[in-house]
């Protein structure tokens, strides 16, 4: 069982403690698709990451760290003239976060311009599961988004499945309308949709969680897990709908990466043979473990729920 994840991984700067100066910042890494990829690899799944980094020292450090997590980096490309992207994250007393980004000229934005990109995509078309997000599309130009759409078709033609999270970051788009158009183009090519209710509301307007599921099922998606934070999720297929509450209530230390963790836990459980309604608790459990710790990808500890 092979998984290919497409997206961007960046250097993460996070503030530690109350120190107001530059010494109060620590370096880590993150990125929505990367976060899910690392979680999937921690489940022991054969997970490859398609992206691009630079030849700079931080890019080299990122590559080493991701390899140590067990990711297959065969198709993590190197751009000779660009560097890794970077973001800074601050977390308030409730665990909610705010971001600042330096990614407009990152290597990942030009990954499909590199000569090795076609070989990477040719390899990806034979994976069992392709995972990407709206951010994966946002960092690419229109021609790149069309190329990823072709890849989705190729994966499905070879018997694989496509999973997608409509993770919306307004700053990455010229308008919500551009992002909506991207979702509407990719929606019919998706098998497993993993949207978040708040992102869908920002794009399509406030609506009940069932309406979110209706939209995705209307595009032909076979299963949808709509995430609603502390309210759990709605799992919907053509055969029925179930609201799944988190198995426990937790107070977030850092909500970074919660949705990415849910997606990975859900997909790992599905790949292990669980039906959708049985897979959602695995997603909730991994998300809860993540938000009880600092960072989008907390280091593994004895409580890490990576066994299925």
Q: Phi and psi (nearest 5°) for 13?
A: -105, 125
Q: Find the helix or strand (DSSP H, E) in which 231 lies.
A: none
Q: How far apart are CA 158 and CA 147, in angstroms?
A: 17
Of 128, 214, 260, 301, catalytic:
260
Q: How far apart are CA 300 and CA 298, in angstroms?
A: 6
Q: What's the CA dihedral at 149, 81, 62, 72 to 10 degrees? A: 40
**DSSP-derived 3-state class of residue 267:** helix
Q: What length does the chain have?
A: 308
Q: Determine the number of helices (DSSP H) and then strands (DSSP E) in the chain.
A: 10, 13
The reply to whether 165 belongs to the active site is: no
Of 9, 124, 131, 26, nearest in space to 67 by CA: 9
Q: Is 73 left (phi over 0), alpha (psi -120 to 50) or beta?
A: alpha
Instruction: Report whether 129 contacts 160 (CB < 8 A).
Output: yes
- Residues whose CB falls within 8 Å of the CB of residue 133, separated by 6 or more in sequence, listed in order: 7, 32, 33, 164, 165, 166, 167
Q: Which DSSP symbol is given to 172?
A: G
Residues assigned a catalytic role: 260
């Amino acid at each position: 069982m092979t998984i290919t994840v497409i997206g961007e991984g960046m250097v993460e700067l996070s503030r530690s403690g109350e120190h107001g100066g530059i010494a109060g910042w620590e370096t880590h890494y993150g990125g929505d698709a990367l976060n899910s990829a690392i979680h999937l690899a921690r489940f022991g799944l054969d997970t490859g990451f398609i992206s691009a980094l630079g030849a700079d020292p931080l890019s080299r450090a990122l590559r080493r760290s991701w390899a140590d997590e067990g990711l297959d980096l065969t198709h993590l490309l190197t751009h000779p003239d660009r560097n890794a992207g970077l973001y800074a994250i601050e977390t308030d007393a409730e665990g909610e976060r705010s971001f600042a980004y330096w990614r407009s000229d990152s290597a990942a934005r030009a990954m499909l311009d590199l000569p090795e990109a076609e070989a990477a995509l040719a390899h990806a078309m034979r994976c069992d599961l392709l995972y990407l997000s709206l951010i994966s599309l946002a960092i690419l130009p229109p021609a790149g988004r069309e190329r990823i759409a072709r890849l989705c078709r190729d994966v499905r033609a070879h018997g694989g499945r496509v999973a997608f999270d409509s993770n919306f970051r307004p700053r990455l788009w010229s308008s919500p309308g551009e992002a909506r158009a991207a979702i509407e183009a990719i929606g019919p090519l998706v098998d497993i949709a993993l949207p978040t209710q708040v992102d869908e509301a920002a794009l399509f307007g406030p609506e009940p969680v069932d309406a979110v599921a209706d939209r995705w099922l209307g595009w032909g998606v076979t299963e949808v897990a709509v995430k609603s934070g502390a309210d759990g999720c709605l799992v919907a297929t053509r055969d029925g709908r179930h609201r799944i509450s988190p198995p426990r209530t937790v107070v977030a230390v850092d909500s970074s990466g919660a949705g990415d963790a849910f997606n990975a836990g859900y997909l790992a459980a599905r790949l292990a043979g669980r039906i959708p309604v049985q897979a959602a608790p695995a997603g909730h459990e991994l998300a809860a473990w993540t938000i009880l710790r600092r960072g989008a990808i907390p280091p593994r500890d004895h409580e890490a729920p990576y066994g299925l």
